[in-house]
Amino acid sequence: MQRRSLLGGLAGVAVGATFGSRANATTLPEKLDPKNKSHLGLLQKKLIYAMDDRPLIWWIRGNKYGSINGELTPLWTLNVILFKSVSHNEDGAFDAKSMEIVYKTDVETDEPLSKWRNPYNGDVYDEEPLIMGPLSRRFTDDGPISQTDLPGADIKRSGSIGPAEISGDDVWLISDTHVVLNRKGQKSFRANDLSTYHGKVSDVLDPTNPSPASTMTVHIVQSWHPWMNMGDQEGTLITRLSGAKCFDLEDIHPRILTMVKRYHPKIAKDFVARLDGPPERFYR
């Protein structure tokens, strides 16, 4: 895929402006070049994470579908909250500690699912909120370092950053993640997360704004979850999500906020403390 840039009308700041007082302070460019790897790294830091060490939150929400021969069947609504903290390194890389909580709700009623019936085989499964992490990953201007550790499973996770698209004061950054997950006694599970982050060029180039407002859309293409017991049935799971970054729990989507407070009150009260705790064991 070619990287294209529409650089007309970009907002800029003086060349040499830097953010922060760290030894690894980042020099901000006069204007963004989507073909420049370090600029893609800057977009990653500012739109997805933060140039300082503040904790942050992403919420995303949308439906998961099953697809057999191109026919889509709604399965459930995903309500996801991601808690993250960032630690910057002298070499310009940074470490992000992340914990993800997934709440499933009924597609029609939006009520939390305690049980879910598979429309393809009639199996009924118990459902409860799923916590993954907290786990740490290192990021460079090329994106995340490949991951191979996940308690309870063997995982191979790789990712990439870019290309970016710029039009006027709007910028969109692509971030792709590819996962192969194996657990004893289960079929191999594959997932491709295709994320697009949106923000403002002027915010990215603002040396006083370490983590500007940003939104995201995610499309996930994956194999059947092994626990769905789909056997040899050919098919695909497709997910469409959207959400936003914030720094205060009260600013997340109200439906997700209600469930966090209901099911995980301690995390809702102090998610930073939980980020410093041990990871949950991955059981699905």
Determine the pLDDT at residue 150.
57
The answer to whether the Cα torsion of 243, 157, 46, 99 is positive or negative is positive
**Tell me, what amino acid is at 50?**
A
Q: Which of 105, 56, 54, 97 is nearest to 80 (CA)?
A: 105
**Tell me, what amino acid is at 211?**
S
Q: Give me the residues paired with residue 61 across strands.
A: 79, 242
pLDDT tens for each residue of 225-259: 989 999 999 999 999 999 999 999 999 999 999 99
Determine the pLDDT at residue 182.
78
Q: What percent of the chain has pLDDT over 70?
A: 86
Q: Which of 199, 225, 190 is nearest to 102 (CA)?
A: 225
Distance of CA 212 to the CA centre of its chain: 16
pLDDT at 90 over 60: yes
pLDDT tens for each residue of 150-192: 555 677 878 889 999 999 999 999 999 998 887 776 778 899 9
pTM for the full predicted model:
0.84
Q: How many residues does the chain have?
A: 284
CA distance readout (Å), 174 to 154, 218, 219 = 26, 10, 11
* Ranges 101-105, 110-114, 181-185, 187-191: which has the least confidence: 181-185
pLDDT at 112 over 80: yes
Within a 10 A sphere around the Cβ of 262, how many other Cβ atoms? 12
The DSSP code for 42 is: H
Determine the pLDDT at residue 268.
96
Q: Which of 82, 110, 61 is nearest to 249 (CA)?
A: 82
- How do the domains of the chain map onto residue ranges? 18-275
